[in-house]
Amino acid sequence: MVENRPFMTFITHLVLILGVMMIALPIWITLVAASHDEIRMLQAPIPMLPGTHFIDNLKQTLFGAGLSGDQTPVWRMLFNSLAMAMMISVGKIAISLISAFAIVYFKFPFRMGFFWMIFITLMLPVEVRILPTFEVVANLGLLNSYWGLSIPLIASATATFMFRQVFLTIPDEMLESARIDGAGPMRFFWDILLPLSRTNIAALFVILFIYGWNQYLWPLLITTDTDMTTIVMSIKQMLESAEQSPKWNIIMMTAFLAMLPPILVVVGMQKLFVQGLTETDK
């Protein structure tokens, strides 16, 4: 702070606290709704203070029986989401690392051609070319599988770009000394490049995990088998079923469970998250 103005300091904190409350309001209402029983959630106005049924609702939601019909239990959806998010993030990091390595450390014909091919993928979000991509996946027989959920989203220009940037900052002397000591390309990659880019990998992982977990349109199209439903896409079906049997306590508990893992990742690894966000987008 430049000068001491007690009134301004008061205003500062007031505005920030109001901002935090405004941002947190939707999740507060979700938590409150998830902690009341079904009957209470049908009476307007809905409560603004937490109730006592949080644990009950949690059990009902996680292990089925919460919603009528043969709904997939929520633990299964959580597992599907986790599998998809892990495959997308690990896959993206792995293939981007090796292709950035090839482009920075090898001289070979079509090097720049490959670089531009990867770069083009950055320009086309999956929403834009959704129909033909769906046809490709269907023809390959990948519908309703973890591979179909993750592989089409795995190619990544941003990650390749970022690792290229990281590798370019590593001094040339590293490679020279490694070669004098007789290390081949893969040895150099494992023993020197990977350890040196450890924090970048971690930061990228945080961002990609959230990206993978939050996928919506893609899983919606390629999973017809209810066993493959991810938790994020289940919300839509639940809201639709709410028109007949509105179990808002269960729906909001599911919504809460769906956003909890990525929120924990952001809050728990805040430093890596901020680093990853600024590195990949700038």
Partner 1 sequence: MLKRVHFPSSPLPYLLVAPQIIITVVFFMWPASQALYQSLLIEDAFGLSTEFVWFENFAALAEDDQYLGTFWRTAIFSTLVAFLSMSVALILAGFADRVVKGATTYRTLLIWPYAVAPVLAGALWVFMFNPTLGIFPYFLDMIGIKWNHYLNGRQAMGLVIAAAAWKQVAYNFLFYLAAMQSIPRSIIEAAAIDGAGPIRRFWTQIMPLISPTTFFLIVINVVYAFFETFGIIHVVTQGGPANSTTILVYKVFNDGFVGLDLGGSAAQSVILMVIVIVMTVVQFRYVEKKVEY
Q: Which residues from 228-257 bind partner 1, rule CB under 8 A?
A: 232-233, 235-236, 239, 246, 248, 251-252, 255
Output the smallest distance, CB 177 to partner 1, in A: 10
Of 150-189, which residues contact partner 1 (CB under 8 A)?
A: 151-152, 154-155, 160, 167-168, 172, 175-176, 179, 185-186
From 38, 54, 56, 114, residue interacting with partner 1 (rule: CB under 8 A): 114
Extract the tokens encoding 93. Answer: 């990091």
Among 59, 68, 122, 245, interactor with partner 1 by CB under 8 A: 122
E strand or H helix that includes residue 173: helix 172-180
Place of tokens 């959230």: 210
Q: Does residue 49 touch partner 1 according to CB under 8 A?
A: no
CB of 63: closest distance to partner 1 in angstroms? Answer: 21
Cβ-based burial of 70 (10 A; exposed 0-12, middle 13-18, buried ≥19): exposed
Residue 145 in the binding site for partner 1 (CB under 8 A) = no
**Pattern 188-217, partner 1, x by CB under 8 A:** ----------------------x--xx-xx
State the CB neighbour count (10 A cutoff) for residue 107.
Answer: 5
> Which span (60-68, 71-79, 91-99, 192-200) binds partner 1, by CB under 8 A?
91-99
Q: For residue 46, how many other CB atoms are within 10 A of its CB?
A: 13
Neighbour-count burial of 74, counting CB atoms closer than 10 A to its CB (0-12 exposed, 13-18 middle, 19+ buried): buried
And the tokens for 165? 């940037």
